[in-house]
Amino acid sequence: MSVTQVVRILGIIRQSRTHADAVSVEMQKALIERRVEDLNRRDPSKQYVLVGWAIDAGVSADKTTPWERPELGPWLNERFDEFDIAISWKLDRVCRSILDFARFIQWLDDHKKSYLCVDDPIDLSTPIGRAVAQIMAILAELELNNIKTRNKEARKSLHANGRWAGGRIPYGFMPVKLDDGWTLKANPEEAEIVHWMVEQAISGASGGVIAHQLNKRGIKTALARQVEASGRKPKKEIEWNSVTVNIILRSRTLIGQLEIDILEDGKKVGTRIVTGADRRPVEYCEPLISLDKWAQLQKVMNTKGKKSERQIEGSRNSSLLRKVGKCGVCGLGLHYSGAERFRRYRCGSRVANSNGSLQPVCLNPSIQAPLLEEILVDSIMDRFGNLPRIQKVHMAGEDHTAELAQLEENIATIRREKYAGFFDGSEDEYFNLMKKWTDRRAELLKQPVKPAGYRYVDTGQSVAEYWQDLDREARNRFLQEMRVTIAYDRTSGATSYQIDYGDLEAIERIARGIA
C-alpha cells in the first residue's frame, strides 16, 4: 500500500502599491491556489497543501530583501522547517535584484527547499530551469531600473510644472485634483497652526517649547493624521518634537517653493530649488507666508544657538526666574541651586567667586526660591491676571526685500552663465528673461516702502488663564518676553523687593484703553 507524500507549500505575495494596473493581492492568491490544485491533479502520488501565506502589501522589493520583509522574513528566518516549496505569482514578487536572487537560490539549496512560479517557467530542480531563473532575475532587475527611470522623469516633469508628485503631504497643506495633475492647497485648520508656529518662532520660542505646546493642546502631527486616516495603529504615539517643528519652519513649502536633494553616488551633497524655464522658483504649492515673513523667520532660526534648541520641557531643575531674577545690591543675575525641597536663589557673584573669579563677593544673602517666585507670580496675577492677554504679532513690511534679493541673484546668475557660455537658450530667450527680471525689479523699486512692525491682538484668554496652561519653562520664557524682572535685598536683615513689570504695563494700558 503506497503512502501519499505531503508537500507543504508557502504562498508568497507582494504588492508595492495599489493602482489600476497592479495585480491585486486577491488575484495573486487565486492564481497560486489554482496552481496548487493543478499540481495535485498532475501528481496523485503527492498531496500539495498550502500551509501558510506571506503577504507583504505596500512593500517594495527594491528597498527590502526577502529576509527583511514583515511577512516573508519570519518564514525564511525562523519558520523555514514548516514548508517544502515556496510559490509566487512571478519571480519579481520575491526578488528584483540578481544579487538577492542568487542569495535566495543559495538559501533554498542550504535548506533543501524548492521554488515555483505561476507565470514564469522556473524549475530549480534542473540546470536549464536554474538558467531560466537567472535570466528572469536579470529581466526583473532591468524592469525595476526602467520603472525607476520613468518615475524619476515623471517627477521631474511634475515638479517643473508646479504639480505635486505624491508622497507625504507637508503639514499645512492638502492635495487638490486638477485637470493636469495634483497640486497642494492650504489646509485651513493646519495653516492656522503653521502661522502660530511661525509667530512663536519669530518671538524667540525654541522648537522644543513649540512642540511641547502643540502636544499639550492635542494638535496631531501630519504623520499621525495620515496614519490615522489609513486605519493603521502606530506602535507608539506620534508626537511633536523639536525636529518635526524645525523641519516645518525650515521648509520652503511655506513660500510655495520646492527644494530637492542633490545626489552624487547615491549620497546627498546639497539641495536645490526647483526652477522653471525662466530660472525662477516654480510655485509648487499655495504659499502660506510672504517672502518677507520667510526671510525674517529664517534669520531668527539661523541666529538661535544650540542651547535654545534644548527641550527642557518640564525639567525639574529649570528655573522660573532664569534671566528674570536680579540681585538688589549689585544688579547681577541670580544663580539657582539646591534640591527640590531646598531650592534657593543667590547673587551670581558668589558662584563666580567660587569658580576662581576675582570679582568681590556680594553681601546679599540667598533667598528661598519658592518664596521669591511666589511673590512675583502673586504680584503679576493680582494686577494683570484678569486682563485679556494681548499678544504682540509681527506684521510683515512691504519693502519686497526678499523678492528683490531673489531677482538680483537671478540676474547675476544668468549673466555669469551667458558670459561663460553655459546658457543653453537663444539670444532672444536671454534678452526676454533679462527684460522680464529688470522690469520687475524696476516695478518693485517704485513701490512705496512700508516698514515691518507689530500690532496687538486679543487672544481671547485672560493673563491668568494663559499662565495656568504653561509649564515652567514656558512661564520663564513669557516673563523674559515681557521683560519682567524682580530684585531682592536682604542685607539689612529685612527683605525688600523691587519688581519691574516691563511690557505688561504697556499691555495693561492697551487692554484698559488708556492712551
Q: Which pLDDT tens digits describe the chain residue by residue (515 residues)?
A: 466 789 999 999 988 765 444 678 888 999 999 989 988 888 888 899 999 999 988 777 667 788 888 899 999 999 999 999 999 988 778 877 766 777 888 888 888 888 888 876 666 666 666 666 666 656 656 665 665 555 555 555 545 555 555 566 778 877 777 766 677 788 888 888 888 989 888 877 888 888 888 888 888 887 777 777 666 666 667 788 888 888 889 888 888 777 766 666 667 666 666 666 556 666 667 788 887 788 888 888 887 644 443 443 334 446 899 999 999 999 999 988 876 667 899 998 876 555 555 567 888 999 999 999 999 999 999 999 988 887 766 665 666 777 787 788 878 877 877 777 767 777 887 888 888 888 888 887 887 776 666 677 777 888 898 898 888 888 998 899 889 999 999 998 899 999 999 988 887 887 776 54
What does each C-alpha distance from 112 to 43, 84, 411, 477 come to in angstroms?
Answer: 20, 8, 68, 67
E strands, 358-491, where? Answer: 367-368, 388-395, 453-462, 485-489
Cβ-count burial of 195 within 10 angstroms (0-12 exposed, 13-18 middle, 19+ buried)?
middle
The owner of cell 494700558 is 509
Hey, is 127 helix, strand or coil?
Answer: helix
Sheet holding 496-500, edge to edge: 325-327, 485-489, 496-500
Backbone angles phi, psi at 21, to 5 degrees: -90, -5
Task: Give the type of residue at 148.
Answer: K
Q: Is the dihedral of CA 467, 472, 477, 482 positive or negative?
A: positive
- Characterise 395 by phi-psi region: left (phi > 0), alpha (psi -120 to 50), beta (else): beta
Sign of CA dihedral 14, 19, 21, 27: positive
Q: How far apart are CA 171 and CA 427, in angstroms?
A: 42
Distances in whole angstroms, Cα of residue 430 to Cα of each of 64, 405, 416, 418: 47, 20, 12, 8
Going by C-alpha positions, the residue among 22, 283, 147, 15 that lies closest to residue 155 is 147
Q: Residue written as cell 513649540?
A: 210
